[in-house]
A and B are shown apart, each in its own frame.
Chain A
Amino acid sequence: MLPNKNGYYGQFGGRFVPETLMSAIFELENFYKKAKSDKNFKRELSFYLKNYAGRPTPLYFAKNLSRKFGSKIYLKREDLCHTGSHKINNALGQVLLAKKMGKTRIIAETGAGQHGVATATVCALFGIKCDVYMGTADIKRQSLNVFRMKLLGANVVPVHSGSRTLKDAINEAMRDWVTNVKTTYYLLGSCVGPHPYPEIVRDFQSVIGKETRKQILEVEKKLPDYLVACVGGGSNSIGLFHPFYSDKNIKFIGVEAGGLGLSSGKHSASLEKGKTGILHGTKSFVLQDKNGQILPTHSVSAGLDYPGVGPEHSFYKQTGRASYVSVTDCEALDGFKLLSETEGIIPALESAHAIAYIPKLARKIKKLRFYLCKSV
């Protein structure tokens, strides 16, 4: 079972952080280990996932989309979670953990604002002080979520450095964490960062895949052929994929943000165009120049606009367990329209990337009927 005790998935992962943070990382690891096998913790989390977040979310058979592409397409409706995305699964889990650890303040980073909103929401629920770091470029393009966070009582801290997006928000959150490590819990929103974060986030998001398995078996009496999901840092996709890891017949497809096209240099396709490197505490595929400086990224969706990716995805890529593709901004917008018009579901721009890959996949596959589950 991955990761190993040093937080490695094959050659990816690990802990690359300033020494000041190591005691906090060990503390987190120990608390998480205990929480994982603690019945009360599990019961409490299930309670909130069900009664507060609204789980299980439906696995919806997309009839019109299926007809259009001659296949059976199911959508895992994470958009129907409280706060409108899968981010609440992880926020609930980690805030319960932070409470157990006796932390009095929570910090988070956010790109699209979905993780920030989920964190602010759970902090409001439990009465914990919350600061959310957000790049000023993202504050501008995701102003509605900034409004929501403030309404929920969180303090949104603008980050002016670098490309002023998710990467820079993580830098600033880590600097805050180094400074206030004794009182503060860092609630990372994606399956990135130093061990044990990629494992913790994956485990809390695995509820997506576990429910999907149960639901598809109930309806179809068999497992799907493909699982498709978008990948930025990769939390929703790892949550969908991981519980199916050992079902080797199921193909995993992660869809990255191709931005203005992979050859333009303006994209966020870390797994396709990145090289092994160390960013934000983990060894993984990273978009970087020949000198090892991190490259600026671009995507129409703020949530995918990140030069790194979770180490478990890098491992899946290297071992061939998953394949990773990308769609451009333009194609993602087509996917956005497609789902809105055929199913009456307006997806997030992030999920629209995965939708946009469906027509491409349908063209590629000769067999007319296949089953596909995709997380919206």
Chain B
Amino acid sequence: MTKIEKLLAELKIKNKKALTVFLTAGYPDIKTTEKIILEIEKHSDIIELGIPFSDPIADGPTIQESSQKSLEKKTNLKKIFSIVENIRNRTNIPIILMGYLNPIYRFGLKSFFQKAKKIGIDGLIIPDLAYEENTEIAKLAKKYNMAFIPLVSLTTEKNRAKKIAKSSTGFVYVTAVTGITGARKSVSDDLIPYLTMMRKETKKPLLVGFGISKPEHIKKLKNYCDGFIVGSAVIELIRQKKSVKNFLKGLRCAISNF
């Protein structure tokens, strides 16, 4: 069992939902990313660190801009590893890396997993890695006992979604919108039936991300999934130099109040 699987199993027993926070690593700079992780670690269950990429085809304007700014500060995988190394003795919160395949591929898949395991990274999400291409990476994740977290989408049909869920060793990332990342006003009507179908087909935890930005979204969906991922809404707060902590407290409140 990976650390992520254990955590989600514990939360399930306590009837709690997981709150995962996405941060673009190195935005606005490496030190601030470290600081924010330590500030919010008590208010979230999992941290997802985004590896910035020059051509993020699955991302909307908010994450595109934060990635661009982070790259201008010369953020690379080595520096992202150093963030985790620096904070690992101060927090035990599970940390997942999320990034497009090319920077990881260039780093070398094996070296990537060796290094990530050594410094205490707990999982990996690659949004442009289709199920058909995931064999090698899923195998390495297994070898290093790290969570491999695949995505399913509203356009993924049942049998395929089942296969994808089976390859997960953390949770299944359910994208809440047919589209790119970015805060949305409301959640799609198709989502509840989709989550209900997924719940029937797999025992793996289901976390919903893409477009989740308001307590209302969480209230509407929380009975159908095991947790949430918030990204663009958090990045937007960081951009405006506003408190992420208060925002997360609001979401937490929506999660725990029945």
| A267 within 8 A of partner (CB) | no
Separation of A310 and B143 alpha carbons in the complex (Å): 33
| A50 within 8 A of partner (CB) | no
| B157 within 8 A of partner (CB) | yes
Stretch touching chain A among B15-23, B82-90, B96-104, B232-240: B96-104
Stretch touching chain A among B42-50, B124-132, B193-201, B244-252: B124-132
B178 contacts A291, C-beta separation under 8 Å:
no
B132 contacts A18, C-beta separation under 8 Å:
no
Interface SS, B side: loop
Contacts A19-B153, A22-B155, A288-B102 known; A293 to B54 CB distance under 8 Å? yes
Residues of B within 8 A of A288 (CB): 102, 106
State how many angstroms separate the Cβ of A242 from the closest Cβ of chain B. Answer: 24
Give residues of chain A (178-228) contacting chain B, Cβ–Cβ below 8 Å: 178-179, 181-182
Residues of A within 8 A of B133 (CB): 14-16
Q: Looking across the interface, which residue of chain A has its beta carbon closest to that of B76?
A: A291
State how many angstroms separate the Cβ of A166 from the closest Cβ of chain B. Answer: 12
Pick the contact of A178: B100, B131, B157, B180 (CB < 8 A). B180
Separation of A179 and B177 alpha carbons in the complex (Å): 8
Give residues of chain B (104-132) contacting chain A, Cβ–Cβ below 8 Å: 104-107, 127-132
Residues of B within 8 A of A21 (CB): 155
Separation of A329 and B17 alpha carbons in the complex (Å): 58
**Chain B 144-188 near chain A by CB (<8 Å), digits 1 or 0:** 000000111111110010001000000000010011100000000
Q: Looking across the interface, which residue of chain B has its beta carbon closest to that of A276?
A: B105
| A290 within 8 A of partner (CB) | yes
Residues of B within 8 A of A286 (CB): 102
Contacts A16-B133, A18-B153, A181-B178 known; A171 to B55 CB distance under 8 Å? yes
Separation of A38 and B68 alpha carbons in the complex (Å): 46
Residues of B within 8 A of A291 (CB): 76-77, 103, 106-107
Separation of A181 and B153 alpha carbons in the complex (Å): 12
Residues of A within 8 A of B154 (CB): 20
A294 contacts B130, C-beta separation under 8 Å:
no
Stretch touching chain B among A277-285, A344-352, A361-369: A277-285
| A302 within 8 A of partner (CB) | no
Pick the contact of A162: B54, B102, B178 (CB < 8 A). B54
Give residues of chain B (175-221) contacting chain A, Cβ–Cβ below 8 Å: 175, 178-180
B128 contacts A277, C-beta separation under 8 Å:
no
Q: Number of A-B pairs whose CB atoms are under 8 Å?
A: 116
| B58 within 8 A of partner (CB) | yes
**Chain A 221-264 near chain B by CB (<8 Å), digits 1 or 0:** 00000000000000000000000000000000000000000000
Separation of A19 and B155 alpha carbons in the complex (Å): 8
| A62 within 8 A of partner (CB) | no
Residues of A within 8 A of B160 (CB): 22
B156 contacts A292, C-beta separation under 8 Å:
no
| A6 within 8 A of partner (CB) | yes
Contacts A18-B151, A23-B156, A277-B105 known; A293 to B179 CB distance under 8 Å? no
Separation of A302 and B146 alpha carbons in the complex (Å): 44
**Chain B 39-66 near chain A by CB (<8 Å), digits 1 or 0:** 0000000000000011111111000100
Separation of A286 and B102 alpha carbons in the complex (Å): 10
| A30 within 8 A of partner (CB) | no
| B71 within 8 A of partner (CB) | yes
Give residues of chain A (130-179) contacting chain B, Cβ–Cβ below 8 Å: 161-162, 167-168, 171, 174-175, 178-179
| Band of interface residues on A | 35 or more
Pick the contact of A6: B58, B132, B164 (CB < 8 A). B132
| A17 within 8 A of partner (CB) | yes
Separation of A214 and B130 alpha carbons in the complex (Å): 41
B156 contacts A178, C-beta separation under 8 Å:
no
A179 contacts B178, C-beta separation under 8 Å:
yes
Residues of A within 8 A of B55 (CB): 162, 167-168, 171, 279-280, 294
| A24 within 8 A of partner (CB) | yes
Contacts A278-B101, A294-B54, A294-B55 known; A23 to B155 CB distance under 8 Å? yes
Contacts A6-B132, A179-B178, A288-B106 known; A18 to B127 CB distance under 8 Å? yes
Q: Looking across the interface, which residue of chain B has its beta carbon closest to that of A291?
A: B76
Residues of B within 8 A of A279 (CB): 55, 102
| 5 A-B pairs closest in CB distance | A292-B106, A292-B103, A179-B179, A20-B153, A291-B76
- Given pairs A15-B130, A288-B102, A290-B106, 8 additional interface contacts (CB within 8 A): A16-B130, A17-B130, A20-B178, A167-B55, A171-B55, A182-B155, A278-B101, A278-B102
Q: A-side interface residues toward B, CB under 8 Å? A: 6, 14-24, 161-162, 167-168, 171, 174-175, 178-179, 181-182, 275, 277-281, 286, 288, 290-294
Could you list some 8 contacts between A and B, CB below 8 A?
A14-B133, A16-B101, A16-B129, A18-B175, A22-B155, A23-B157, A161-B64, A291-B106
